[in-house]
Amino acid sequence: MKIDKVKSLIEEVKAFAAGTEKEIEDFRIRILGNKGELKQLFAQFKEVAPEEKKEYGQVLNELKHVAEARVDELKQALKQQQSSAEADSLDLSRPVNQQKVGSRHPISLIRNRIVEIFQNIGYEVSVGPEIEDDWHNFTALNFPPEHPARDMQDTFFIDKDPDIALRTHTSSVQVRMMESQSPPIRTISPGRVYRNEAISARAHCFFHQVEGLYIDKNVSFADLRQTLFYFARTLFGEDTEIRLRPSYFPFTEPSAEMDVSCTICSGKGCNVCKYTGFLEIMGCGMVDPNVLENCGIDSKVYSGFAFGMGIERIAQLKYNVNDLRLYSENDAQFLEQFRSSL
Ligand code: DAH
């Protein structure tokens, strides 16, 4: 009874179970393969009695469909099993791959800190162009025509007549602020400046400054001193002492240089402060009446003070980095040391 044989084969196929891809594939080849059972049963078609041929054909077709469906079903089930096993092996408590966070440049860190300290006492931030004219960089700031700072040695001139140069200091921004605003003016101007210097550990052809300016009625030298004292203590620590030494700048009168007690030895004397106990950090003074008038401010009504400091100099003291070249070499090992800083 060939038909019964096919029927029992159909039952066998329906009940067949397999756990691996190979078992399924072997099963498929055994039933549906080129030399498989189905092929052989078809080949026996001619031996079937004529009245049974129709039913024989039907059960063979059924066998074919059932077998194909079973193979598909088993393959699907196996796939699902595998992917859920993968999901089970996901460890959600595993630490993520650490992303590398960039670090700020030490000059930016110090600039931000200086700006923040002055913003907290009401100063606003202003900026000016790095390519500047003679008026804003020199003339309005009361530099006499023959002043040596105008010399080609210090200044990178871009054009003559009119003189256009890379600014040599951020004091040019105070001129722009006084020209464009009326007092009271409280402004802090960070920026890059350029000087024609040979590059060494102690000098560079570009560096950074922060300029400060306060213009109002009745501003006195005592205000200047107290503002800078507050700044020094906030930046370097509560025990910091300051010292103002008389000096000269064309744009301030009187002028001074400000020292802070040595950040290394706290004033006791060491080789960083050359055993003086103090370190120079900025120039300052009362804005010269000529400068006020040059900028359209009535020097009989208003007075004010200005100060300017080098950011690299402060960074040197804060981070103990004594070679100016390191700030612009883009050495990743150097820069990465500032990663944890804000
Ligand atoms: N511009 C000066 C320099 O580059 C620094 C400076 C000194 C700025 C005294 C000032 C000041 O505003 O009052 O060396």
Rounded-to-integer distance, Cα 32 and Cα 64, Å: 7
Extended beta strands in 174-295, E state: 185-194, 206-216, 242-249, 252-261, 278-287
Q: Give the Å distance between the CA of 172 and the centre of ligand 1.
A: 10
Q: Are residues 189 and 127 in contact, defined by beta-carbon separation less than 8 angstroms?
A: yes
Instruction: Calculate the alpha carbon distances from 128 to 132, 159, 166, 167 in Å.
Output: 9, 19, 12, 10
Instruction: Share the mean pLDDT of the chain.
Output: 91
Domain 106-341: give its CATH superfamily. Bira Bifunctional Protein; Domain 2 (3.30.930.10)
pTM given for the model: 0.72
Q: Quick one: average pLDDT of 148-167?
A: 84
Q: In this structure, which residue's CA is closest to atom 7 in ligand 1?
A: 283
Q: Where, residue-wise, is CATH 3.30.930.10 in the chain? A: 106-341
Q: Give the Å distance between the CA of 226 and the centre of ligand 1.
A: 18
- With H, G, I as helix, E, B as strand and everything else as coil, classify residue 294: helix
CA–CA–CA angle 106, 109, 110 (5° rounding):
90
Q: In this structure, which residue's CA is closest to atom 2 in ligand 1?
A: 308
Q: Give the Å distance between the CA of 112 and the centre of ligand 1.
A: 19
Provide the pLDDT confidence category of residue 118 given band limits of 50, 70 and 90.
very high
Render pLDDT for 322-340 as a digit per residue (tens, 0 to 9).
Answer: 889 999 999 999 998 888 6
Q: In this structure, which residue's CA is closest to atom 13 in ligand 1?
A: 284
Q: Which residue has the tokens 């040391």?
A: 337
Using a 6 Å CB cutoff, which residues line ligand 1? 169, 171, 211, 249, 252, 283-285, 306-308
Q: Is the dihedral of CA 308, 310, 311, 314 positive or negative?
A: negative
Q: Quick one: average pLDDT of 167-181?
A: 97
